[in-house]
Structure 1
Amino acid sequence: MSIGRRSLVIVGAGPRGTGLLERIAANAPELYAGSPLDVHLVDPHPPGGGRIWREAQSPLLWMNSHAEDVTMFTDETVPMQGPVRGGPTLHEWAGVDGRLFAGRQRQGAYMRWVYEQTVAALPPDVRVHHHPRLAIRVDGPRDGRQRVWLEGRAEPLLADLVVLTLGHLDAELDDEQSALASYARAHGLVHLPPDFTADSDLSPLKAGEPVLVRGFGLAFVDLMVLLTEGRGGRYEGDVYVPSGREPVLYVGSRRGVPYHSKIGYDWTGERPPLPRFFGPAEVDALLARPGGFDFRRDVWPLIEKELGFANYHRLFTAHPERTTVAWRDFEEKFAVAGPASLPALVAAAVPDPSDRLDLAALDQPLDGLRYRSYDQLQDGLRAYIEADLKRRHDPARSPDLAVFLGLLSVYGQLVRLGDIGSRWHGFFSHLASGPPGPRLRQMLALSRAGVLGFLGAGMTVTAEDGVFRAASATVPGARVEARALVEARLPLPTLERTRDRLLRQLYADGAAGTAGGLLAVDPADGRVLDRSGRPHPRRFALGPHTDARGSGAFTRPRTGGPAFRQNDAAARAALTFLRDLSCRAAA
């Protein structure tokens, strides 16, 4: 690196790092034209897909989004200062049916192509260098060049700016997980802690043996696939034909049900005009509260109102025969109705209860339900999954898709509030980020074949008498025991327990503050905040390890893309800083 060249180090070359680089390429002609710059990408995995979306993983694993709903390119709906640089969605690039749930290998290839196109679009004086290593430390003075130390390299990379786009993080075990792991070692049991399923060693889970699984989200779906089709089983229509090498999975969770199926039809007609009750003005008011805001008290009612508006706008405009009043009259009363008066308003205007939006029932469908035996629970859960599949693939239930659009709108607004706790993210994932319909049909087939059993809601696990035992609130008094336990969920990305040495060092030194356990950043541009809340002029961070984690690094076209907005703001701030630095040096 020559003395006259500025240096930007991006730690993490997956979708978020690639997205930031794309915004640097888009904004450089305006903010950094003609100035030399070295961009160093630090990631042991290939640029583009990174660890999670790498091409080298099982071809059986799918994305949980339609190929037409995945893009890495901005459009005019993204509220940003930088220029729009359009590009193909996954399905346009791959030339596949837009309603296909593409494999993750194909998504990895798409991400590699996006990265290559981004590098080609950079100005001639901007050079990109990939370092296939782990970054283990960042230090340096606030007003001077930073040093980024890499594993296995004696000399650090010198950086005028550092951006941490680390993605999802591994974590040390919490107290409960540590106790379970210790018990497993002492008694010859198998305990697989929270992890990325594609990276887990599943070989200790033996054929025909029971396995308790805690977690019913997307990590479980991956586990289910790898332990069934991944071991030679196959589907003949709606029937699963075992290979004989599968374990028997018993799955439960806090909710006790899988995430709701992806919706299986396209949108037609008028979209709900969102945001309506939870937009920029409401976020401004929340941020301006002298004593701060409480999510449950101040934010959740606005979210309920917004999602209700989306639901009923669609019902009244697309299915008016299922309502008793005109939309204009209902909308006027809905706008001023409070929690006490809203149920009566909805009941009078919407006769069929199945057309009314009940967020509590959607979120906790087993709440209050009790079964006398696990056999009865199996029948009940299969009926629940079948009903969910039917509804989510029925265009007559299109208000569900309107609620999904409302969820995306809400997510875009929540980014500005910083970390608002785990409740929202779990609720969003359950309603909007569930598995493809075919995966739920496979789940039903596995249940009928005796390879998969349901444990219910409020699942608890104890380690006693040399085994693991699972119980749930749904079947009081019943127990299932096994010599293997899998925690089918991602590790929590907290700074206190992360295995990432770089972040742990920043936290230990007081150079990184936390908000809800996540890395605290300035919501305006992603600058890292120290424990006193002071932003670092030369360190930025973007992604799920921060309190401005927003939505995924890629998103649906024409939905505002909160991550794209964050990437653009960070890229413009970084380029402006580097330009001004060069100007001062030249003066």
Structure 2
Amino acid sequence: MIWTTEHITPEPDLYSYVQARKPETSPTPESRMIAIMGGGPKGMYALNHFVNQTRLDPTTKHYQVLWFNQDERFACGPNYDIHQPNYLLINYCIGHVHAFHPAYRDIENQRSFVDWLTAVKIVDTVIEPTDFASRALVGHYLQWVAAETIRNLPSNVHVELIPRPVITMTYKDTQVAIETKTKTWEVDSVLLTTGHCYQNSPLIEHTEIPTAMYKRAPYPVSQFATIPPQAQVGIIGIGLTFIDIALALTEGRGGTFEQGTYHRSGKEPVIYPFSRSSLPILCRGAQYQEQRPLYILTESQFKKWMRQSAKIDFLKEILPLIEEEVQLAYYTVAFDVTDLETIRNMIAHIPVSERFMLNNLLRPALNNEEEIIQYIRTNIDEAYKGEEKSPLMAAAAVWSRICSQIAEVYRTVGFTGASQQQLDQYYFSAFNRVSYGPPIANMEKIYALAKAGILRFMAFQNPVISWHSDEQLFSLRDANGKEKQLDILIDARIARPALEKRNAVLYDNLLQKGSIHAYENEGYSPGSLSIDKRGKCTTMESLPVYCYGSNTEGVFFDNDTLSRTKNDTACYWVQETLRQM
């Protein structure tokens, strides 16, 4: 079952609710000023932390929390925008969605997404934790959690929602001045949760390309409504975002899917997705049940790494064990054997050239469109079997099983600079491609679009993009000389922190002022600002100025998640803020 906003009666959006709400008390002139910069889920989690900590440790001091966001989509952010189409889905089953922190279960009205949906749904269908949901519906849940937090504020805490992007901050000894285009606020504490303020660097440096022909951001998908039917549209990236765009250009234009077949509306363009590898993402079934134990990458092995004093070489010390674990997972299912030595002996009798290796998972050889489409079909069939019956799915699930432990090693012990660069720039996306894919229903749609000839997979490797101003066309050429002309180009990559590329106005302004500097690990600069292991900005040590979420990547690992507990630097920000005040 896929749950959408059609299955509930939506409440007013959070910003409208807060504007209409009349708080019982007002902030005092002596209120300490606190800023949360970024209004997505991480900003909401931080607000919830702060409110609950003031309830656990009551004080007579008054606090004014200024919650900034670039628009009015507070709590949901762009990823979970409540106004986006219902065909845009989350890529994990709903049983995993829980926006409350377990530390506060005794002092607030906590509901998981399943509990909330059970209470608000207007249909009789039974909810299963293995169901999926639209991102818009999850956005309504996140806004409900925020509304519950604001509805139960202590009398000495006041919250103001400010839908204006912050341009810069000026650091002083005792306060920070926060500036938007229209106003300046002086605050005593700042948390930066700016996960989606970054822009992709343009792949073509031509200022004369019409904006209607070069879409440099994937969201909102409503921006693609002006693309004419039959246009030749190239999409940079073949991940989750590509799927959203493909559905917006087909299902979003009136096309329908029925029993594995796509029925055209006549308004579709022809879509040509590509990337550096041009490998499509793997889908997955509902991963909610008890999972089989790992053989090599056990809890004791990670504890051993955590006790090390020297940085770890990811490529030499961890990657070989991941490769062995992936191979064992594959053959455990293929042979239907669980004894470790038995599996190893059976693998040893397979010729090396015929063994399933990590490269088979991460870099399958797909040389043409037919092979790519067959790869998608095979993956769908394997995903239906699940990791208990499919060797491929068992191998793909290894990364999702160990990712949180890898993140803990990354944050605490750390990796050598050269190996961290390889992990950040290649292995992270390669493992995510096979382990964190879309639900099966969405990949079946991609397969149907490919069979209908609307999606055309070109199998280009490391293609080069050019703009021809005379013809008003893009051309795509790969290393083997294959070429394709395109009318429109859409960049479906999700931008990450990149200080050296100046891809975020706020952080670029802070860098130019010298208020922040780039984090560096043995000569490798991942693009994030320098913070310590608790998320505190190292250049503003006298004040609580912290980062939380995607802006910490490079010091922390894999933060683009709804988890309340993974890399939770907001708790440290709250602790220092209340201690100083």
What's the TM-score bracket when you normalise by the shorter of the two chains?
0.7 to 0.9
- 1:163 deviates by 0.6
TM-score, with structure 2 as normaliser = 0.80
| Pair 1:165-2:193 in alignment | yes
Aligned position for 2:149: 118
In structure 2, the residue corresponding to 1:58 is in which secondary structure?
A: coil
Please give the alpha-carbon distance, in whole angstroms, between the structure 1 residues aligned to 2:48 and 2:42: 10
The letter of the residue matching 1:22 is N
- The equivalences for 1:27-46 within 5 A come to 27-31=53-57, 33-43=59-69, 44-46=71-73
Structure 1 residues 510 and 58 mapped into 2: Cα distance closer, same or farther (>3 Å)?
Answer: same
What is the CA distance between 1:295 and its match in structure 2? 4.0
Alignment: residue pair count:
524
Match of 1:58 in 2: 85
CA distance in 1, matches of 2:273, 2:441: 19
C-alpha separation in 2, matches of 1:171 and 1:359: 32
Match of 1:128 in 2: 159
3-state SS, counterpart of residue 480 of structure 1: strand
2:570 aligns with 570
1:300 is matched with which residue: 291, 315, 319? 319
Within 5 Å, give how 1:45-84 maps onto structure 2: 45-75=72-102
* 1:10 matches 2:28: no
Deviation at 1:280, TM superposition (A): 4.2
Alignment of 1:368-379 (within 5 A): 369-370=366-367, 377-379=368-370
Q: Which amino acid aligns with 2:279?
A: V
C-alpha contact 1:74 1:86 (8 A) present in aligned 2: no
The equivalent residue for 2:490 is 486
TM (normalized to structure 1)?
0.79
Distance 1:357 1:83 in 2: 49
**Equivalent position of 1:551 in the other structure:** 558
Whole-Å separation in 1 of the counterparts to 2:533 and 2:198: 27
**Structure 1 residues 261-276: aligned runs within 5 Å:** 261-264=283-286, 266-268=288-290, 270-272=292-294, 275-276=298-299
In 2, Cα distance between equivalents of 1:151 and 1:170: 18
Q: For each residue in 1:94-138, what CA deviation from the matched residue of structure 2 results, as whole angstroms up to 9, or x when unmatched?
A: 134333321121011011011122234543322211112111121
Q: Is contact 1:214-1:459 (8 Å) kept?
A: no
Q: Is the 8 A contact 2:327 2:358 kept in 1?
A: no
Q: How far apart, in 2, do the equivalents of 1:575 and 1:359 lie?
A: 42
1:395-410 paired onto structure 2 within 5 Å: 395=386, 396-397=389-390, 399-400=394-395, 402-403=397-398, 404-410=400-406
Cα distance in 1 between the residues matched to 2:454 and 2:162: 44
Specify whether residues 480 and 432 from structure 1 end up closer, same or farther in structure 2 by C-alpha distance, changes over 3 A only.
Answer: same
Secondary structure at the counterpart of residue 133 of structure 2: coil
Hey, what does 1:335 align to over in structure 2? none
Alignment match, 1:219: 241
User: Structure 1 residues 205, 575: closer, same or farther in 2, change over 3 A?
Assistant: closer
Per the alignment, residue 340 of structure 1 pairs with: none
Q: Counterparts of 1:107-506 in structure 2 under 5 Å?
A: 107-141=138-172, 143-153=173-183, 156-171=184-199, 173-174=201-202, 176-179=203-206, 182=208, 184-185=209-210, 190-193=213-216, 195-198=217-220, 201-264=223-286, 266-268=288-290, 270-272=292-294, 275-276=298-299, 279-285=302-308, 288-289=309-310, 292-301=311-320, 303-304=322-323, 311=329, 316=332, 322-323=336-337, 327=339, 329=341, 347-348=347-348, 358-366=357-365, 369-370=366-367, 377-395=368-386, 396-397=389-390, 399-400=394-395, 402-403=397-398, 404-416=400-412, 417=414, 421-463=424-466, 466=471, 467-472=473-478, 476-506=480-510
1:220 shift after superposition: 0.7
Residue 63 to residue 328, structure 1, CA distance change in 2 (3 Å):
closer
Pick 1 or 2: higher relative contact order, CA cutoff 8 A, min separation 6: 1
Q: Alignment partner of 1:168: what SS?
A: coil
Q: Is the 8 A contact 1:68 1:98 kept in 2?
A: yes
Q: Is the 8 A contact 2:234 2:271 kept in 1?
A: yes
CA shift for structure 1 position 299: 4.6
Q: Flag the 1:269–1:258 CA change in 2: closer, same or farther, 3 A.
A: closer
Q: Which ranges of structure 1 fall in alignment gaps of 5 or more residues?
A: 332-343, 371-376, 556-560, 583-587
Percent of aligned pairs with the same residue?
A: 21
Instruction: Give the structure 1 partner of residue 112 of structure 2.
Output: 89
Q: CA 1:306–1:2 in structure 2 vs 1: closer, same or farther (change >3 Å)?
A: farther
Segments of 5+ residues of structure 2 without an aligned counterpart are 1-26, 119-126, 520-524
Give 1:337's aligned residue: none
Q: Distance in 2 between matches of 1:422 and 1:280?
A: 26
Cα distance in 1 between the residues matched to 2:346 and 2:409: 26
CA pair 302-85 structure 1, distance change in 2 beyond 3 A:
farther
Cα displacement (A) at 1:385: 0.6
CA contact (8 A) 1:280 1:413 kept: no
Is the CA contact (8 Å cut-off) linking 1:189 and 1:483 kept in structure 2?
A: no
Question: Equivalent residue for 1:104?
Answer: 135
Partner of 1:25: 51
Q: 1:213 to 1:199 in 2, by over 3 A?
A: closer
Change (3 A) 1:304 1:269: closer
